[in-house]
Amino acid sequence: MDDKLPKTPGPIGIFDSGYGGLTILKGIRDLLPQYDYIYLGDNARAPYGSRSFDVVYQFTRQAVLKLFSMGCHLVILGCNTASAKALRTIQQNDLPEIDPTRRVLGVIRPTAEIIGELTQTRHVGILATEGTVKSESYNMEIQKLWPDVEVTGVACPLWVPIIENNEAEGDGADYFVRKRINHILWRDPNIDTLILGCTHYPILMPKIKQYVPDGIRIIAQGEYVASSLKDYLLRHKDMDARCTKQGKVQYFTTENTAKFKDNARIFLPEGIDVEHLDLE
């Protein structure tokens, strides 16, 4: 047990490898504007999508410890890759040692929970990073809850670099978006629901919609993660009491702050202040 962690109530932490978690933060703030949040993007080490299990776990653990030391009692991994590769180990092995009263939640379970209510054909596609697809986390979570749903995952390794480099609206993006969508629909032509299983991907939504045939539903995770968090806080009054509520958000990045501020405009309509921090 780490006795040095602040005991007083604090903000909810939202972590992502880079900018993608901002789509989760937006969904959460739309539904729960009264809470305080700390957003942490590990932009200096993004993307996480093609990194090994061990590296994603170590990086995510460092981020969670940092957010705890900054006063958070509850941290959301607003990143599918971290949720797929690090969440379980952190929940099962690290939290009991660090502080069993703190919580870390991910974005895969809330998405898996609603999927069976959305698909008619019972064929679902997951577009995600290589790490998330290879982990088969979506397949496992969906199978547990909806055993009759067939899941096909396709990795889109270039989508995150396109977004992180502010090229989501560029002509080059069309080629890579069209290619992966055609591929997943070729793998399973019966898919009627496509999950954007990477928190960066909603930024490509205009292009994705262009290449997904009518009648196929595209799921971005923000609103589902938000309603799951709302439900969690209603069911866990003790945790709710440990979350401060003044409607404030602080942003931190491991990269250059001017760059973060500039690129964050793609994800957030309002201008933001951001501070630098190092994870080690």
**Considering the complex, what minimum distance in angstroms separates the CB of residue 8 from ligand DGL?**
31
Amino acid sitting at position 117 = E
Half-sphere exposure of 250 (CA within 13 A, CB side): 16
Closest to 81 measured CA to CA, from 179, 174, 159: 159
Say how far residue 46 (Cα) sits from the centre of its chain: 13
Q: Is 263 in the site for ligand DGL (CB under 6 A)?
A: no
Which CB, 38 or 108, lies closer to ligand DGL? 108
Amino acid sitting at position 201 = Y
Angstrom CA distances, 215 to 108, 193, 209, 260, stand at 24, 9, 11, 36
Binding window for ligand DGL (CB under 6 A); candidates: 2-10, 40-48, 97-105, 223-231 = 40-48
Amino acid sitting at position 266 = I
Q: Give the three-state DSSP class for 184.
A: helix
Which CB, 139 or 199, lies closer to ligand DGL? 199
**Considering the complex, what minimum distance in angstroms separates the CB of residue 159 from ligand DGL?**
9
Residues of this chain, 116-175, that bind ligand DGL according to CB under 6 A? 129, 132, 160
Cβ partners under 8 Å of residue 68, min gap 6: 2, 5, 13, 75, 98, 99, 102
Binding window for ligand DGL (CB under 6 A); candidates: 27-35, 91-99, 192-200, 224-232 = 192-200
Q: Is 17 in the site for ligand DGL (CB under 6 A)?
A: yes
Say how far residue 219 (Cα) sits from the centre of its chain: 13
**Considering the complex, what minimum distance in angstroms separates the CB of residue 252 from ligand DGL?**
16
Among 49, 71, 106, 202, binds ligand DGL (CB under 6 A): 49
Task: Say whether 156 is catalytic.
Answer: no
Task: Say whether 79 is catalytic.
Answer: yes
Q: Is 59 in the site for ligand DGL (CB under 6 A)?
A: no
Q: Is 18 in the site for ligand DGL (CB under 6 A)?
A: yes
Which CB, 18 or 71, lies closer to ligand DGL? 18
Closest to 173 measured CA to CA, from 44, 51, 266: 266
Q: What is the largest CA-CA distance in the chain?
A: 55
Q: Which residues would be at the binding site for ligand DGL (CB under 6 A)? A: 16-18, 20, 46-49, 79-81, 129, 132, 160, 198-200
> Which positions are annotated as active-site residues?
79, 198
